[in-house]
Structure 1
C-alpha cells in the first residue's frame, strides 16, 4: 500500500491543474483502501474548496515562494551550497541507474512529487532509498506545514508513516537525522535554511 500513498502524495503535492482536480475522486478512492486515508482528508477538502486559479496562486505562494515549505529535498540539507549541485547530480544518476527514462520537465531531480512518483511507479527500491536518505528533509517539511496549519501536513506525515519508524517531534530531534549541514553558499548573498542546522539552538 505504500506505493499508493507515494503516488497519491506526489499528485496532491504537485502544482494543481484541471487534470488533477478531475482525478481527485479516483485518487481519494485509492487512498481510502489504505490506513493513511485520514491523513489525506484535509488536502482533498482544500483542493475542492477553491477555484483552480486561486488554488494555483495559493500553491505558488506556499510552496514556490516560501522556504518554510520547500518541496526540494536537498534544499533542507544543503541549501544554496556548491555541494548541492553534486548531490543533485547524484540523484540524476540514480534515475539513470534504474534504466528508466525520468522526464524532469524543467524541475530539479530532488523535487518531492517527482521522487514520490519514481518510488511508486518507477523503481521502488531506489525511490524509497532517496526518500529515506532525505527523511530529515521530509520531517522538517512536515513540521513546518503543521506549525503553519497547512492541510498538506497530513500528506507529508503519511509519507513518513509509509517509510516506517517514529517521526521526530521537534526540529531539535530532526537535527539528529542531519549529517552534513551547509557550510558554503554560492553567490554574494547567502540564503539560509529556514530551520536550524546542526549548530545552534532549535527555534
Structure 2
C-alpha cells in the first residue's frame, strides 16, 4: 500500500530525501483512496514543508516529537508509559514482526509508528486496515494534540484514522484534552529529569529511536495476517489526560 509507505516516510525524521521525493509523494497522495479533504490537507502539508527551510523543519520535528511524552511516536508510550509491561509488549511485537518475515535493525524500537506503518504496508490492504484499527484511539489522540499545537502534522494522523475506517468523534477527544497540561515546557522537563532515576547496564532502556525506517525487502512475506497484541485503547486518551492533569 503506497500511501502507507508515504505516510511512514513523512512521519519519520525529515531529511533532504523527502524534498527530493516531493513530486512522487504528491502523486501517491493524489492517487490514494483517501477522502478529498485528507488528500488536500496532506498535499498542503507536503507543499508547505518542502518549500521551507529543512533545518527549521527538523528543529520543529524535534520540539514536537522528542520533547515530552504526549506526542511520542512510540505507540507503547501511550499504553504502558515506563512500566515493565512496555518492555514485554515490545518483545511480543518484535516477535510478531519476525513471524511475518520482517527483520528490523537493532537500533529500531518496534513500536515506532513509522516502522509500524512500514510493517502494515507489506501485509495487504485488509490487514493494514485491521492494524490501523488496533491503534485508532492513539492516532485520534495524537491528531487532537497536534491540532491543539497548531501543527499540520495532525493531517497525517487524521488521514491514518480515515484509512482505519474507525468512527471516532475527534471533537470528543479534543474536549478530553482541552485542560491537559503540556509536558514539553522547560519546567515539566526539569521535573521529569529530577524524578526519573538513571539506570545503566543491560536493563537500561534506550531513549528515542533511530531516524531512518528499515524498509522490508521484497522477499518478505506480504500475505500473512499477524494480529498485534494491544491493550484496550478505549480508555487510552482519558488515561493520558488524567496523567497530564496530575502534574
Superposed, 1:135-150 pairs within 5 Å as 135-150=136-151
Equivalent pair of 1:72/1:110 in contact (CA under 8 Å):
yes
**Which deviations, in whole Å up to 9, do the C-alpha atoms of 1:175-194 show, x marking residues without a partner?**
xxxxxxxxxxxxx9369xx9
Equivalent pair of 2:140/2:161 in contact (CA under 8 Å):
yes
Counterpart of 1:197 in structure 2 is 239
Q: Normalised by the size of structure 2, how large is the TM-score?
A: 0.65
**Which deviations, in whole Å up to 9, do the C-alpha atoms of 1:151-203 show, x marking residues without a partner?**
111111000100102123223898xxxxxxxxxxxxx9369xx9640895997
Q: Normalised by the size of structure 1, how large is the TM-score?
A: 0.78
Counterpart of 2:57 in structure 1 is 55
Q: 2:24 aligns with which of 23, 26, 35?
A: 26
Q: Structure 1 residue 59: deviation in Å?
A: 0.9
Is 1:7 aligned with 2:5?
yes
Superposed, 1:1-203 pairs within 5 Å as 3-34=1-32, 35=34, 36-101=38-103, 103-104=104-105, 106-120=107-121, 122-124=122-124, 128-169=129-170, 170-171=172-173, 189=195, 196-197=238-239
Q: Structure 1 residue 50: deviation in Å?
A: 2.2
Equivalent pair of 2:18/2:50 in contact (CA under 8 Å):
no
Equivalent pair of 2:22/2:46 in contact (CA under 8 Å):
yes
Equivalent pair of 2:110/2:116 in contact (CA under 8 Å):
yes
For 1:7 and 1:99, locate their aligned partners in 2 and report how far apart those are by CA, in whole Å: 18
**1:48 counterpart SS class:** helix
For 1:31 and 1:90, locate their aligned partners in 2 and report how far apart those are by CA, in whole Å: 33
Equivalent pair of 1:9/1:156 in contact (CA under 8 Å):
no
Q: Structure 1 residue 112: deviation in Å?
A: 0.6
- When the two chains are superposed, the root-mean-square deviation of aligned CA atoms in Å is 3.0
Counterpart of 2:206 in structure 1 is none
**2:110 counterpart SS class:** coil
Larger radius of gyration: 2
Q: What is the aligned length?
A: 185
**Which deviations, in whole Å up to 9, do the C-alpha atoms of 1:45-104 show, x marking residues without a partner?**
332232222211111111111423211111111111111111111110110110132x24
Equivalent pair of 2:42/2:155 in contact (CA under 8 Å):
yes
For 1:45 and 1:66, locate their aligned partners in 2 and report how far apart those are by CA, in whole Å: 28
Q: Which runs of 5+ in 2 are unaligned?
A: 177-193, 198-235
Q: Structure 1 residue 143: deviation in Å?
A: 0.9
